[in-house]
Amino acid sequence: MTKRSSGLFSGRTRHLARHHMPSKQGVRNVIKDFNVGDKVAIVPKGNFRDIPHPRYRGKVGRVIEKRGAAYVVELNVMDAKRQLVVAATHLEKA
């Protein structure tokens, strides 16, 4: 018997059904700009190669710094603080 895959999207196809294709995203979604201290929500969409882990979907955090074309977002998960590097296309103002 074969072993079931345990990849990033294993068992999560229902979460991907509502996302848009990368070619359908407008320029406005690509050139978003956030300031340090802004509250943002993590909403994975578009290109699935650079999305944050699905467990952080819908979480709200604070922008700590800009790193290249992405942003470092700090969020609380239970009692721990996590810092994620997220591309601007996957962030929305909260």
Q: What is the pLDDT along the chain (94 residues), one digit of tens a residue?
A: 788 887 777 776 666 665 555 556 778 877 889 999 999 999 887 666 788 888 898 999 999 999 998 999 999 999 999 999 999 989 999 8
Q: Which amino acid is at 74?
A: E
pLDDT for the residue 9: 72
pLDDT for the residue 21: 58
* Alpha carbon separation from 44 to 2, 3, 4, 68 (Å, rounded): 30, 28, 24, 19
pLDDT for the residue 40: 97
Q: Please name the CATH architecture into which domain 13-93 falls.
A: Roll (2.30)
Q: What is the pTM of this model?
A: 0.77
